[in-house]
Chain A
Amino acid sequence: DAKTTQPPSMDCAEGRAANLPCNHSTISGNEYVYWYRQIHSQGPQYIIHGLKNNETNEMASLIITEDRKSSTLILPHATLRDTAVYYCIVSPQRGSTLGRLYFGRGTQLTVWP
């Protein structure tokens, strides 16, 4: 039940910003945008989420377009340890499909030295 579209792969030089796009043109008004990442053979790790406004935390920034149909995850200074698969997910707020976050194939980000 994929509601998002992400490029299968991207690369980025170490120290540069990594900008990962995500299209979610059918997003509903009560749906959050979540980003997780998964380093090879490990469990996914939560990065950030947002509803309407741009968000920033210690890991990344999330830019959501005004019409909410797309978003970009920004890793401001990518390191080799940021090499991972990044998942963009949209999901309703709690009360309807608790925990049913649909993880597609994501974007494989490779950070090179």
Chain B
Amino acid sequence: DGGITQSPKYLFRKEGQNVTLSCEQNLNHDAMYWYRQDPGQGLRLIYYSQIVNDFQKGDIAEGYSVSREKKESFPLTVTSAQKNPTAFYLCASTYQATTGANVLTFGAGSRLTVL
């Protein structure tokens, strides 16, 4: 079955440590996204990538970094510069059509807790 796999599902880290969240998709989607969700809140866009080797900052990119070396993979690194990293992180993807609706497929999420 095609879909998006995020790992790990739960992650604990100490302050000052960088962590990398994995996002892999086998949907042959061109564009991939990372969102952050805090308790009781909506989703906020961190980074997105429309093609391999290219990505753009979203609304809350500070303290995060990404790479897009392969079409299938879009890992997110939460750096020590991110002041409040405890959150639920969601990866999504979609086809890169030029017109029409844009329907996102989401992964199951990764919950990061900083101790």
Contacts and interface: CB of A to CB of B under 8 A. Distances in A.
Contacts, number: 71
A103 B40 CA distance: 12
B102 A94 contact: yes
Interface in A19-40: 32, 34, 36
B31 A32 contact: no
DSSP majority for the A interface?
loop
Interface string A35-73: 010000111111001010000000000000000000000
Interface string A80-111: 00000001000101110011111111100000
Interface of B: 4, 6, 31, 33, 35, 40-43, 45, 48, 50, 58, 88, 90, 92, 94, 96-109, 111
